[in-house]
Structures are given as structure tokens and as C-alpha cells.
Amino acid sequence: MTLVMKFGGTSVGSAAAMRETAVLIQNAQAEWGQVVAVASGMGSKPAKVTDLLLRGAHTAVSGDGETYKQEAERLRAIHYEAIDGLLAPEGERQSILAENEQFIRRFERLCQAVFVLGELTPRAMDAISGMGEQMSVRILAAYLRQTGVPAEAIDATELVVTDDNFQAASPLFDRTAEKVEARLRPLLQQNIVPIVTGFIGAAETGVATTLGRGGSDFSAAILGQALHANEVWIWTDVDGVMSADPRLVTDARSIPSLTFREVSELAYYGARVLHPKTIRPCVENNIPLRIKNTFHPDHPGTVVVPDADGVNGGIKAVTAINCLSLITVEGKGMIGVPGIAARTFGAVAQGNVSVLLISQASSEQSICFSTPDNTAEAVIASLEAEFAQELARRDIDRIWAQRDVSIVTIVGAGMRGTPGIAGRIFSALGQTGVNIIAIAQGSSECSISLVVDGEETGTAVARVHELI
Ligand code: ADP
Ligand code: ASP
Ligand code: MG
């Protein structure tokens, strides 16, 4: 039996956390036989290693030659404290310290180059931001060896082949499967636990890439698919997927079971607990997915199960994404004119901007959609260029953005069979004084998304949560 387990930033965030993680790996190996662990860069609150690395790069490119050096010191403090706390001086402590020091020096050299050139390419950003994972896996693997568990740290640059879309690279599954089979299978057959870096991969040319922020969950699913794993488990710092972000809603509850579609909607609409791309490799290969708490391992967490018809249960969870704009294209001359929607989204796509929600009034007098707030100006400029003639003829009156809005998404496959849910949501929000700016219902009817003013996000999420 093969189990792929992913440990998030907090699960490897300190010596104490790595000890818990090592116990979980050891127990899993005894139970499952073949275990692969995927780890994130160290990250406990308030400092997350990936953030420190990126801050070093961003400050360097803006002409600040000092901050990255301070970040390097913080990286040393975080990693050396873990190494000192875990590894015995007579064992691998010195060699792992030296390996980590090499990464931190490399970070400083890359930031220095960025500072001198005044240029930070997506490719350089990936080389820099992936180092957190490369450091953490080396510490965890050495600690496991010290406790008697055969383990080997592996950089996913050796396994996960991606395209060269830096910062959001997509895996090439066939090439990845070949590499995983050749590199990991022999280790598993010898009962060695591979401790693989999450988040990173490499293009065919060997250049390092990353899968996007939060992408270590996706790494686990990629390896799960390549190895035909029996299950994929995501270990994090909460008791599975909860009915709302526990930082926004204090009485959020753990959800024992969710369907793949429900969890996709939650992940896509902002529930950070799972990277949205994690789901597809699991669902397509029938691999059960669990989300569990490293610091509360006896809690069952959440299991994600195949979609089924006739589920009951109404609303299961509510989530939100902040910092969006709602962009509206409106005009009486749009009525009945074919191709306006296609041209609108064509113009948006040219700027490589993702659209999170679309809503069109039935009168066809307007189309509105939401995009990340920082893209609004560019999106409006490209729409104005696309529709220059229509604007001049006044067929389109206005293209405008409402800034700083949020999408609040309510999820539950059982909502389909339960009449009146939308009504309850709208009246609850109305009574609380939350103004709903736009509405969209997922075609699967397992989610309803509402656009609200950014300032009202917390109130809206809390009020909807009371209906669960
Ligand atoms: P990791 O480093 O383990 O991947 P993340 O910080 O990426 O951890 O994701 C876990 C965090 O996701 C939780 O600590 C919680 O604050 C946040 N979160 C947001 N929405 C939800 C939700 N619906 N259920 C559980 N956690 C959520
Ligand atoms: N360390 C990476 C990040 O912070 C990947 C992850 O944590 O999943 O985005
Ligand atoms: Mg995460």
C-alpha cells in the first residue's frame, strides 16, 4: 500500500513540529509500508520562509541592498534553531548546517544579482522562492535517519517535470511519472521514505520552476498520481476543512466529509487549506484525499469522497476571496449584438488575467465579472481598446470597475435539492445590512457566490455561517 503525505509549513515550522511530523511518518510507514512525504518550506507564524525569500528578492529589485541580508539572517535563525533542536552534534548536525548555509548564501548571491541588475524575472523568483523547501526536507530527512527511519531528501526538480510558465508551472504528467518511477520506486522498495520538496519542479531544460503559492498540496497529488498511491493525506494546522476560515469565524467546525466538487469550489473560492489544483489528479485517479491536523492527529479531519447525486445537507461551508474588482461593461446598444461576451473575455484573457466570477443581466445590457483588484486598470484599458468603436457610437456607455470587493461563496452539494436556501441567505444578509452587488450560481448548483463590498466580508461570512 502506498501513501503520499504532505506536511505544510507549520507542520515543519519548528523542531517541535518536525518531531510530531516524524512520528506521523514513522507510524504511517509501519501501517502502510510505502510512504512518501512531501514537505513545505518552514513556516510558522509570523514568519513563513517562502515569504522571507520573496521579500528579499522584491526589496532587492527595488534598490534596497540591505533587507535581503536581514532576511538571510532570519533564515539562518529559523533553520539553525531547528537543526540545533533536532540533530545530535555527533551525527549529521554539521553537514546539514553546511547544506542549509549553502542555500542561504545562494539566496544572498541571487538577491545581490537582482539588486545590481535592477531586474527580477519570474524565473529568478522561482529559483529564489523554492529554496525554503530544499532546506526543510534536508533537516526532516536527517532527523528521521537519526531516529532510525531510513529517509532520503529529494528535490522535486528531479521528479516533477513542468512547462516553463514560471510561478504557476503545470506538470507534464507522463514525463513526471517516468521520473518518479525511476527515482522513487526503488527507494520505496527498500523501505526508504523519500522526503520530497513540495512547491517546486523543473522544466525539461532543468531550470527550476514553482507550481504557484500554496502549491505543495498539488505536489502531493502529482506524486500520488504518478505512483498510483492508495491515498493522499494533507497534514496541516487545523482539523481538516472547516465550515469557514477559523481565523474569520471562531466557531467554525471541522467538516467530516466533502465531495470533490464541494472541496473544489471551496479551494477555488479562497479556502487556503487546500490548493485548488490538488483535486484533479486525485479525482481522476480515484485516490481518496484526507486533510488532517499534525498537532491533533487523532482527530479524523476531513475525507474527500467522489461526487454523488441526491446528497442532503444544505449549506456546508462559506468562504471568501478579498481584494477583487467587479468590472462592468454596460450599454443599451449591447442588446442582441452577438459576440460582445466573447470579445470581452478575449480582451481580458490577452492580459493573462483570470476571471473568478461572471454575471450577466438577462436584459443583456451589462456583463460584469470579477478579477484581482491589481489588474483592474489594465483590464479596463484593454476593454476600452477592444470596444473603441462601440464606445464612440455609444452602443457601450461605460466600462468601469468597482474596486475592493470580495466574493463570498456558499458551498454544499445538498443545496440543489433544498429549496429556499438562496432566499434564506439573501434575507439573512439583508437583515444584517450587507449589500449584495452581484450574484452567480455554480452550474453544478453546489455553490452560490455573492459579490459584496470588501469591508463587509467578515460580517457576511459570519452571518452566513450562522445558517449552517
Ligand atoms: P499549510 O502550510 O499546512 O499548507 P496553509 O496556511 O496553507 O497551511 O492552510 C491552512 C490554513 O488555511 C488554516 O490555518 C486556516 O487558517 C486556513 N483556512 C482558510 N479557510 C479554511 C477552511 N475553510 N478550513 C480550514 N482552514 C482554512
Ligand atoms: N512554501 C510554498 C508557499 O508558501 C508552498 C506551500 O506552502 O504550499 O507558497
Ligand atoms: Mg498550504
List helix spans (H) across 190-315: 216-227, 260-268, 279-284
Exposed / middle / buried, residue 118 (Cβ in 10 Å: 0-12, 13-18, 19+): exposed
pLDDT, position 198: 98
For the chain, what percent of residues have pLDDT higher than 90?
88
Ligand nearest the Cα of residue 321 is 1
CATH 3.40.1160.10 is the classification of domain 2-237 = yes
Q: Classify residue 362 by burial, with Cβ atoms within 10 Å: 0-12, 13-18, 19+.
A: exposed
CA 263 to chain centre: 13
pLDDT of residue 376: 96
User: Which CATH number is 317-465 given?
Assistant: 3.30.2130.10
Domain 2-237 and domain 317-465 have a common topology = no
98: how many CB neighbours lie within 10 A of its CB? 9
All three cell numbers of 196:
520530497
Q: Is the CB of residue 50 below 6 angstroms from any atom belonging to ligand 2?
A: yes
Q: What is the DSSP letter of 373?
A: G
What is the C-alpha R_g of the chain? 24
Cα–Cα distance measured from residue 204 to residue 255, given in angstroms and rounded to the nearest whole number: 40
Strand partners, 254: 242
Cell 538577491, located at residue: 111
Strands 34-39 and 193-197: parallel
The full set of domain ranges for the chain reads 2-237, 317-465
Task: Kindly state the DSSP code that residue 420 receives in the 8-state scheme.
Answer: T
Cα 211 to ligand 2 centroid, rounded to whole Å: 9
Per-residue CA distances from 421 to 35, 258, 355, 411 (Å): 43, 19, 26, 11
Q: How far apart are the first and last CA of the chain?
A: 37
**pLDDT single digits (tens) 138-182:** 999 999 999 999 999 999 999 999 999 999 999 999 999 999 999
Of 1-15, 267-281, 299-313, which range is least confident?
299-313
Query: How far apart are the CA of 41 and the centre of ligand 2, in A?
Result: 7
Question: In this structure, what C-alpha cell is assigned to residue 459?
Answer: 460580517
Asked whether residue 334 carries a pLDDT value surpassing 90, the answer given is no
Q: How confident is the model at residue 419 (pLDDT cuts 50, 70, 90)?
A: confident
Ion ligand 3: residues, CB within 5 A, are 8, 214
Q: What pLDDT does 47 receive?
A: 84
How far apart (Å, rounded) are the C-alpha atoms in residues 140 and 149? 11
d(CA 327, CA 376): 7
Q: Which amino acid is at 447?
A: S
Ligand 2 atom at minimum distance from 219 CA = 8
| 231-286 pLDDT, tens digit each | 999 999 999 999 999 999 999 999 999 999 999 999 999 999 999 999 999 999 99
Q: Which of 10, 234, 238, 319 to probe ligand 1 with, by most ligand atoms within 8 A of CB?
A: 238
442 has pLDDT over 80: no
Question: What average pLDDT score do residues 204-230 get?
Answer: 98
Residue 81 DSSP code: H
Residues of the chain above pLDDT 70, percent = 98
The CA distances from residue 280 to 92, 219, 224, in Å, are 39, 12, 11
236 Cα to the center of ligand 3, angstroms: 8
Cα–Cα distance for residue pair 293/397, rounded to 1 Å: 52
Distance 461 CA to ligand 3 centre (A): 21
Residue 444 pLDDT > 80: no
User: Is pLDDT of 51 > 80?
Assistant: yes
In the beta sheet, which residues pair with residue 317? 411
Residues 6+ apart with CB under 8 A from 289: 221, 231, 232, 233, 234, 260, 263, 278, 279, 282, 303, 304
User: Each residue of 364-394: pLDDT tens digit?
Assistant: 688 999 999 999 999 999 999 999 999 999 9
**Quick one: pLDDT at residue 338?**
79
Determine the Cα–Cα distance for residues 65 and 71; give it in Å rounded to an integer.
Answer: 11
Farthest CA pair distance, the chain: 80
Q: Is 89 helix (H, G, I), strand (E, B) or coil?
A: coil
pLDDT at 312: 65
Amino acid at 317: A
pLDDT value at residue 211: 98
Q: Please check the confidence at residue 11 and state whether its pLDDT lies above 80.
A: yes
Distance of CA 68 to the CA centre of its chain: 25
Q: Whose CA is nearest to atom 11 of ligand 1?
A: 273
Helix, strand, coil content of the chain in percent (nearest 5)? 45, 20, 30
Instruction: For residue 11, give the ligand nearest its CA.
Output: 1
Could you give the residue ranges of the DSSP H alpha helices within 329-403? 340-350, 376-386, 388-392
**Ligand 2 atom closest to the CA of 8, numbered from 1:** 7
DSSP state of 153: E
